[in-house]
């Protein structure tokens, strides 16, 4: 969703429309989407837009949605102090506790990951994924960021907004 969208409200309305189908979302600083012949493929943030991807049950048999807390409170306070290895260890522990309701195989599964783009620990997250060695599936996804000045990020697991961060003049602080 573009920065101009009311992320919490729009996510809620999409969940109502989807009924029992899972809905996940993220804010975006631009979209790879073209609605007109000959138009550029990339639409930069600046105009209100929402890209909705709907997958057929014939393509996606089952979905398992999981959310983990990112160990980055120190980063959001503007005082990074947790060593890389400790951040990886905490992420590893969170990932190790995920229980998938189906067997994960590279032949018929993939992981779609949305990370708060202001978390500043996506490298540690991927290192923990590889160290965990439980998710031997392809990973796709991206970072959620909105405004071009990268001062907000929204992510939803379909149950509510998981991250709403704003940058302040003193660093980054968690708003809700």
The reported pLDDT for the residue numbered 148 is: 54
Helices 84-96, 122-132: axis angle to 10 degrees equals 50
Q: Is 50 domain-assigned?
A: yes
Range of the domain at 35: 7-174
Pick from 156, 85, 158, 88: nearest CA to 116: 156
Band (pLDDT 50/70/90 cuts) for residue 167 is: very low
Q: Is 2 domain-assigned?
A: no
> How far apart (Å, rounded) are the C-alpha atoms in residues 128 and 3?
30
Count of alpha carbons within 13 angstroms of residue 95, beta-carbon side: 23
Residue pLDDT, tens place only, 110-160 = 888 888 777 788 899 999 999 998 888 998 887 777 655 556 677 787 777
> How far apart (Å, rounded) are the C-alpha atoms in residues 47 and 98?
37
Radius of gyration of the chain (CA): 17
> How far apart (Å, rounded) are the C-alpha atoms in residues 63 and 55?
11
Q: Is 1 domain-assigned?
A: no
* Residues 6+ away with beta carbon under 8 Å from 54: none
Count of alpha carbons within 13 angstroms of residue 158, beta-carbon side: 15
| Alpha carbon distances (Å) from 132 to 40, 74, 90, 111, 128 | 40, 24, 11, 14, 6
By the 8 A CB rule, do 83 and 71 touch?
Answer: no
Between residues 162 and 54, which one has the greater pLDDT? 54
Q: Taking the alpha carbons of 26, 27, 28, 33 in that order, is the dihedral positive or negative?
A: positive
In the chain, the number of structural domains is 1
Helices (H) and strands (E) in the chain, counts: 4, 8
Which pTM value belongs to this model?
A: 0.76
Number of Cβ within 10 Å of residue 5's Cβ equals 18
Q: Is 164 domain-assigned?
A: yes
> How far apart (Å, rounded) are the C-alpha atoms in residues 16 and 116?
24
Residue pLDDT, tens place only, 2-46 = 777 788 888 888 889 988 888 888 887 777 777 778 888 877 666
Number of Cβ within 10 Å of residue 148's Cβ equals 12
């Amino acid at each position: 969703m573009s920065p101009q969208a009311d992320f919490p409200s729009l996510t809620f309305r999409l969940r109502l429309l989807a009924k029992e189908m899972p809905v996940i979302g993220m804010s975006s600083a631009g979209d790879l989407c073209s609605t007109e012949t000959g138009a550029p493929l990339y639409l930069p943030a600046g105009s209100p837009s929402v890209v909705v991807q709907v997958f057929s049950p014939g393509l996606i048999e089952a979905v398992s949605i999981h959310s983990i807390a990112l160990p980055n409170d120190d980063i959001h306070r503007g005082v990074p102090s947790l060593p890389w290895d400790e951040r990886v260890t905490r992420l590893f522990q969170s990932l190790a506790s995920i229980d998938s309701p189906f067997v994960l195989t590279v032949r018929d599964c993939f992981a779609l990951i949305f990370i708060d783009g202001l978390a500043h620990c996506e490298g540690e997250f991927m290192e923990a994924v590889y160290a965990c060695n439980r998710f031997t599936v392809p990973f796709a996804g991206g970072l959620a960021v909105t405004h071009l000045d990268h001062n907000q990020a929204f992510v939803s697991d379909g149950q509510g907004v998981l991250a709403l961060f704003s940058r302040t003049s003193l660093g980054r602080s968690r708003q809700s």
